[in-house]
Amino acid sequence: MKRGLLILCVLLSLGIDSLAQEPAGIPVPDVEYYDNIEASQVTGRRKRTPKERRAWRRHYRLVYNFNRVYPYALVARKLMHQVDSTIEADHLDKSVRARYINDVEKELLRLFEQDIRKTTISQGFVLVKLVDRECGSTVYDIIKDYEGGFAAGFWNLVGKLFDQDLKSQYDPEGKDKDIEELVRIWDSGSWDEFYFEIFGKWPEKTVIVTDRLSTQSRRK
């Protein structure tokens, strides 16, 4: 991923306008779902413990944030492939390549700046993980590969100021298994129904203006 794509993913991952407030009032239905319901005597509604309520709220927030940012991780993968393919196919020399990357950066910011400003910190945390999953590298490693170790260290420090670890690796069978399960549901085509069962409404769709860049390499 080159500089423009790098900036896009980093800014989205950090949630800048991080100053964007976490969405208040994410609906948390007071309903419990079970895969198997055994026969029992109904004696009244069971109250969840504070620990259980916190766990459910984390789950609902994760579902809400995943719905918002996963489309960006998918489009980032496509744009990365397009840019890298153009550089390889056109055999760009150093100066033409730099000019092309600069043009890509301008187009990305024009297309996605408003989306960047609406991304929250917790959504950025989920996106950091999804970027690693879809692109095969942590945000930190991407920066290090294309901008150098100093830049990577700087952005990692900025990330920590916003409670993000850009070195964070995706762990689908460990700490990120809940995110991986959401990816599985998305890929199965049943995401809308899953979201509706939780929130009682259809998911708001993240509108991606395009998954293709119009920027062409310029030799003059």
Per the structure, the count of domains in the chain is 1
The rounded distance, in Å, linking the Cα atoms of 9 and 20 is 17
Entry pTM: 0.72
pLDDT digits (tens, 9 = 90+) for 72-110: 889 888 887 888 888 788 777 878 877 887 787 788 878
Tokens linked to 211? 């998954």
Q: What is the DSSP string of 199-220?
A: HSSPPPPPPPS-SS--------
Residue 207 lies in a domain: no
The rounded distance, in Å, linking the Cα atoms of 96 and 94 is 6
pLDDT digits (tens, 9 = 90+) for 125-177: 888 888 888 878 777 777 676 566 666 666 666 666 566 677 778 899 999 99
pLDDT digits (tens, 9 = 90+) for 13-56: 554 444 455 555 565 555 444 444 344 444 445 577 887 788 88
pLDDT digits (tens, 9 = 90+) for 166-211: 777 889 999 999 999 999 999 999 999 999 999 999 999 998 888 8
Instruction: Return the amino acid letter for 151.
Output: A
Residue 175 lies in a domain: yes
pLDDT value, residue 195: 96
Query: What is the three-class DSSP state of 15?
Result: coil
pLDDT value, residue 155: 63
Residue 145 belongs to domain spanning:
3-19+52-199
- Regarding predicted confidence, which is higher, 59 or 120? 59
